[in-house]
Structure 1
Amino acid sequence: MTTKRNVLFIMCDQLRYDYLGVSGHPRLKTPNIDALAQRGVRFVNAYVQSTICGPSRMSTYTGRYVRSHGSTWNGIPLRVGEPTLGDHLKEIGVRNVLVGKTHMVPDREGMARLGIVPDSLIGVHVSQCGFEPYERDDGLHPDGPYDPAPDYDAYLRSQGFDADNPWEVWANSAEGGDGELLSGWLLSHADKPARVPDEHSETPYITRRAIEFIGEAEADGRPWCLHLSYIKPHWPYIVPAPYHDRYGVDDVLPVVRSDRERQHPHPIFAEFQHERVSQAFSRPGVRERVIPAYMGLIEQIDDQLGLLFAYLDERGLTDDTLIVFTSDHGDYLGDHWLGEKQMFHDVSVKVPLIVVDPSPAADATRGTVSEVLVEQIDLAPTFLDYFGGRPKPHILEGRSLLPLLRGERVENWRSYVFSEYDYALDRARIKLGTPVPDCRLTMVADGRWKAVFVEGFRPMLFDLDNDPHEFDDLGDSEDHAEVRQRLSDAFFAWARRPRSRITRSDEAIAAKDDAQRAYDRNIESGVLIGYWDETELAEERAKRARYLASRRPE
């Protein structure tokens, strides 16, 4: 590396691609994120590799599809030895630092099998998904226990917000007129302010911790990749004042759903419509109560990013720092009669992606919008490329975005994007009677057509040009058999190319081709396979000697 470089990798949790001012939302105010887009490239066809937190993030942190890294659902560990962004950056002297959420579950059985002590340097690296955990905060749940408990809990207590679970009682609960505790988990309380003041809520706290790291990192001197990973606007949908009433019923956009979606739906789609969260968001008044809080959480993030970007300016770091803003998946919020995010409609599988490359080579693309098909696994190779690391296509299944950011012509860019979901841990598996190994959904999209292949069932198909809301499933339409076959062929071709040989690069193997093909190396080791007699062996040895002599430098 010849110049100082850093990466600020910002990820929100459950932020829809269309809930930003720059994305066209007519009500939501996100001036700092909008300004960021004016400094870089906004990718409007960016897709995650799974629509649920854990596997989506593991794909982002490894640069690999779910079928390759194997962490298929929340709570399914990323196996010991799976290469991560932290491993690749460590090789070139770059710190890979975490402030916020990863949803990583360590492979404790694998660590025990290999004798890796969890609190050792290697143990921490493995159990933290290759990150240096400056501040790990995945958010809490009401029952615990937490191992280890996030520092945010201790921070709240130090500020006088004491409780067995201050995250639950203060940061994610409201207070009734008689002082009673109102849980933020209950959707009916989304219109009320969280008990904790704004400055002590989770988003400002995590932002301050990111700023603290950046200040300390200047003294360290090493380049860094800082993953600032907010847990919001993920549920519980509750936000502190003054953000709790910044938006109201009039700011809620009309729901995107049709009665056609309930007439003969695909079996897996029908089962997810029956989930409790989907039924809740389909009730009158629920969206109008929840979405203003969701929007308030987003505006709070935008305000905090404004402070962070100003700090980078003050410290003279803006011109050295590549900035990425994105999300791990979207949120249905009642669209398509669904809640949560498991299916593959655009509101779930498509995410916002803004990338700012500070290099002068990227000046020509600033403020532009790119419609190329991008996958979240492209971020790891982009970071490696930005820091000057060698590409690793035998491990990293994504592609560097730097050529696109710098207006270069890119040959053979992808024609399809893929996303996967394993519903083995959902109620849908039980209702449908699907065997656990067959609970696989795979989305294939080419920009116009989107297919979802479901093991044991017919596929789903949507025409995004003529049906942008994805109301009409053409999965059994005879008129679209050719389209389904083309996407099926693309799916099959993709499935046949897993990156399973990660210990030796393609280049390392190809570099041995000439010598291996021309003259068998084994003859000098005594491994003699396929030779007839001593004369043939002697002739082959003579040929090898002449070949080696011809390659010897003068």
Structure 2
Amino acid sequence: MTSRSVKNVLFIMADQLRWDYLACYGHPSIKTPNIDRLAKRGVRFSNAFVQGPVCGASRMSTYTGRYVTSHGSAWNFIPLSVSLKTLGAHLTPHNVRCAVVGKTHVEPDINGAARLGIDTHTDHGRLLMEGGFEPYERDDGLWPPGFKVENNKYCDYLRSHGYQSDNPWHDFANSSLSEEGAIQSGWKLRWADQPAQVKEEHSETPYMTRRAMQFIEEQGERPWVLHLSFIKPHWPYVAPAPYHDMYTANDILPVKRSSGEKDDPHPVFRGFMDYTPSKTFSENGVREKVIPTYMGLITQIDDQIGRLMQFLEETGRDKDTLIVFTSDHGDYLGDHWLGDKELFHDTVVKVPLIVVDPSAEADQTRGTSSNEIVEAVDLLPTFLNALDLPIPMEWLEGQSLLPLLRGEGQSWSKDMAVSENTFAFRDCVRLPIGAPVDRCNMTMVRTHEWKYVHVDGLPPMLFDLVNDPDELCDLGKSPSHASVREQMQRRLLDWLFCRRRMTGIAPDAIASWNQKELKAGIEIGVW
């Protein structure tokens, strides 16, 4: 299957955006008309899952097309091996420019580069350290208070507009000002309903949108893939006016949690309930103050997507550009007595995914919703397929979504999703369990009916998604569900045995190996 009408890919990712906080996914009060219009122009996937419930692991799977077990960057700040092929490595040999505006969370493999003698100061070396993305405007957007930020384009931009500070990202873009003139840090949830100290047009989301349009404008006829990676609505939960008070507590979704979840919980679940964001979001009044701002940040993203789509239409790029909108994971926001992310409830591992294919072959599916299980690892092969480029299946562990976009869903064979994480970095979880850091691995297997979570050295978790869609009752120790757990464990083992192991040779080359031997005159064991 090829698509010669697609020349470019605009890959938009929001950070920590829940799937159920968009109007086109059923939220009753949030305003996201531009994202909704994207859904009407393409296919909205209602069962899309990420391969890791934290930024780093999820993104590295998306950028490599490989599961966490295969790429090894299992949490934030774990270097992505220089030996791995990323999206950019598949594109640049074909003269397709691959760049990022915003966040990637790629941690450079400095030691690996040194071992291989790679000079990281050359263009090629820098590209490898950036995970294959040209850093047109790389900014992961996490500058702690008191940190002096230098050599950062966004902070320099803020300073040029009068926001003078060692750290204008924190002091202005992600903090508010008290009546007495004191900085109210955005890291403190108590100030979430106060407006950021920057004008709206100077805040991160519109700034990154403008930079994306500048990149596209510069390309001319050269094909490109641009990863526009918004830093919001990830914490700090701070929005500029008028988005800071656009919503009220009446607009938020009811919390998904029950008192029964606290009765003899799984040790890992108990540990994450003791994590500071979880304890804070479980207090009365916190959700009501924070989530309206979270929603405002989402609507700000939506408004900027509207400007970006208008720009694409005015320049004609909407006719030859595949557009993808998704998130790297969700946000608990108090559901299940938890805050932030890291476990495997759908609140976190299920994400919005909308794909707009400009090709005529996709006309029949426009405005439809697909219930098929799809994963973030499916995006890279989709991009290559849409651009009519080779899909090296010795590397990639996902499947192209083009059959689902072109009305050929009968060929879709995926019936489960896998996500992985480690609790080695969370003392509140690991220390009470007494687990060594190399025995803190968790793996989720999710079908339409069941969710199974394998935990090293501990009983599994199990949820009946048909009768308990909110995942409030863990059946991991239920005697009557032993056969289900065995079945799901077999699924996990089968999945592990099927990882891509021979990355140095294409499957077709392996299939024709015996014939090559015979043609070469190599006859083994002949009498």
What is the TM-score of this pair, normalised by structure 2?
0.97
**Which of 149, 152, 155 is residue 154 of structure 2 equivalent to?**
152
Report the CA distance shift for 1:469/1:28 in structure 2 as closer, same or farther (over 3 A). Answer: same
Residue matched to 2:290: 290
Deviations 1:140-171 (A, max 9, x none): 32258689742101000111111000001010
Matched, 1:481 2:482: yes
Residue matched to 2:113: 111
Cα distance in structure 2, aligned partners of 1:179 and 1:113? 52
Report the CA distance shift for 1:387/1:285 in structure 2 as closer, same or farther (over 3 A). Answer: same
Matched letter for residue 227 of structure 2:
H
Residue matched to 1:552: none
Cα distance in structure 2, aligned partners of 1:498 and 1:229? 28
Matched letter for residue 506 of structure 2:
S
The offset of 1:521, in angstroms, is 3.9
* Structure 1 portions without partners, runs of 5+: 524-528, 537-554
Residue matched to 2:25: 23
The offset of 1:491, in angstroms, is 0.1
Farther off after superposition, 260-269 or 499-508: 499-508
Residue matched to 1:375: 375
Residue matched to 1:225: 225
Residue matched to 1:299: 299
Farther off after superposition, 506-515 or 229-238: 506-515
Matches within 5 A, 1:341-352: 341-352=341-352
Deviations 1:511-536 (A, max 9, x none): 232242x467447xxxxx757xxxx6
Matched letter for residue 77 of structure 1:
P
Residue matched to 1:460: 461
What is the DSSP-based 3-state SS (H/G/I as helix, E as strand, rest coil) of the residue aligned with 2:351? coil
* Structure 2 portions without partners, runs of 5+: none
What is the DSSP-based 3-state SS (H/G/I as helix, E as strand, rest coil) of the residue aligned with 2:187? coil
Matches within 5 A, 1:205-244: 205-218=207-220, 221-244=221-244
The offset of 1:414, in angstroms, is 1.1
Matches within 5 A, 1:411-450: 411=411, 413-427=413-427, 428-450=429-451
Deviations 1:463-510 (A, max 9, x none): 111101100111111211121111110100011122121111111121
Cα distance in structure 2, aligned partners of 1:468 and 1:369? 19
Matched letter for residue 110 of structure 2:
R
Asked if 2 retains the 8 angstrom alpha-carbon contact of 1:4 and 1:223, the reply is: no
The offset of 1:249, in angstroms, is 1.7
Cα distance in structure 1, aligned partners of 2:470 and 2:150? 43
Cα distance in structure 1, aligned partners of 2:328 and 2:144? 23
The offset of 1:103, in angstroms, is 0.4
Report the CA distance shift for 1:396/1:4 in structure 2 as closer, same or farther (over 3 A). Answer: closer
Deviations 1:434-489 (A, max 9, x none): 11221110000111100001111111110111101100111111211121111110
Matched letter for residue 213 of structure 1:
F
Matched, 1:389 2:389: yes
Matches within 5 A, 1:452-531: 452-516=453-517, 518=518, 521-522=521-522, 530=525
Asked which structure has the greater CA Rg, the reply is 1
Report the CA distance shift for 1:370/1:148 in structure 2 as closer, same or farther (over 3 A). Answer: farther
Cα distance in structure 2, aligned partners of 1:103 and 1:281? 25
Asked if 2 retains the 8 angstrom alpha-carbon contact of 1:41 and 1:365, the reply is: yes
Cα distance in structure 2, aligned partners of 1:105 and 1:397? 22
Asked if 1 retains the 8 angstrom alpha-carbon contact of 2:145 and 2:171, the reply is: no
Deviations 1:348-383 (A, max 9, x none): 000000001110000000000100000000000000
Asked if 2 retains the 8 angstrom alpha-carbon contact of 1:322 and 1:357, the reply is: yes
Matched letter for residue 325 of structure 1:
F
The offset of 1:3, in angstroms, is 4.8
Matched letter for residue 456 of structure 1:
G
Matches within 5 A, 1:255-266: 255-266=255-266
Farther off after superposition, 421-430 or 506-515: 506-515
Residue matched to 2:180: 178
Residue matched to 1:166: 168
**Which of 24, 40, 43 is residue 42 of structure 2 equivalent to?**
40
Matched letter for residue 488 of structure 1:
Q
Cα distance in structure 2, aligned partners of 1:108 and 1:419? 27
Deviations 1:176-224 (A, max 9, x none): 0111111011000000000011000000000000000111112xx2100
The offset of 1:393, in angstroms, is 1.6
What is the DSSP-based 3-state SS (H/G/I as helix, E as strand, rest coil) of the residue aligned with 2:135? strand
Cα distance in structure 2, aligned partners of 1:200 and 1:411? 47
The offset of 1:394, in angstroms, is 1.4
What is the DSSP-based 3-state SS (H/G/I as helix, E as strand, rest coil) of the residue aligned with 2:342? coil
Asked if 1 retains the 8 angstrom alpha-carbon contact of 2:273 and 2:279, the reply is: yes
What is the DSSP-based 3-state SS (H/G/I as helix, E as strand, rest coil) of the residue aligned with 1:126? helix
What is the DSSP-based 3-state SS (H/G/I as helix, E as strand, rest coil) of the residue aligned with 1:459? strand
Matched letter for residue 441 of structure 2:
R
What is the DSSP-based 3-state SS (H/G/I as helix, E as strand, rest coil) of the residue aligned with 1:377? helix
Matches within 5 A, 1:241-280: 241-280=241-280
Matched letter for residue 277 of structure 2:
V
Farther off after superposition, 146-155 or 38-47: 146-155
Asked if 2 retains the 8 angstrom alpha-carbon contact of 1:37 and 1:355, the reply is: yes
The offset of 1:68, in angstroms, is 0.3
Deviations 1:65-110 (A, max 9, x none): 0000010111100011210011111122211111010001100111
Asked if 1 retains the 8 angstrom alpha-carbon contact of 2:6 and 2:386, the reply is: no
Q: Percent identity between the aligned chains?
A: 55
Which aligned segments of 4 or more residues in structure 1 are displaced greater than 6 angstroms? 144-148
Cα distance in structure 1, aligned partners of 2:6 and 2:438? 48
The offset of 1:412, in angstroms, is 5.6
Cα distance in structure 2, aligned partners of 1:441 and 1:352? 23
Cα distance in structure 1, aligned partners of 2:226 and 2:525? 56
Cα distance in structure 1, aligned partners of 2:344 and 2:480? 23
Matched letter for residue 468 of structure 1:
P
Across the two proteins, how many residue pairs are aligned to each other?
A: 524
Cα distance in structure 1, aligned partners of 2:4 and 2:352? 32
Matched letter for residue 332 of structure 1:
Y
Matched letter for residue 217 of structure 1:
Q
What is the DSSP-based 3-state SS (H/G/I as helix, E as strand, rest coil) of the residue aligned with 1:133? strand
Matched letter for residue 367 of structure 2:
G
Asked if 1 retains the 8 angstrom alpha-carbon contact of 2:50 and 2:349, the reply is: yes
Cα distance in structure 2, aligned partners of 1:125 and 1:147? 23
Matched, 1:86 2:81: no
What is the TM-score of this pair, normalised by structure 1?
0.92
Deviations 1:14-42 (A, max 9, x none): 00000001111111000000010000000
Cα distance in structure 2, aligned partners of 1:30 and 1:366? 18
Deviations 1:411-449 (A, max 9, x none): 361121100001111111122111122111000011110
Asked if 1 retains the 8 angstrom alpha-carbon contact of 2:341 and 2:348, the reply is: yes
Farther off after superposition, 133-142 or 398-407: 133-142
Matched, 1:331 2:347: no
Cα distance in structure 2, aligned partners of 1:128 and 1:96? 11
Report the CA distance shift for 1:3/1:250 in structure 2 as closer, same or farther (over 3 A). Answer: closer
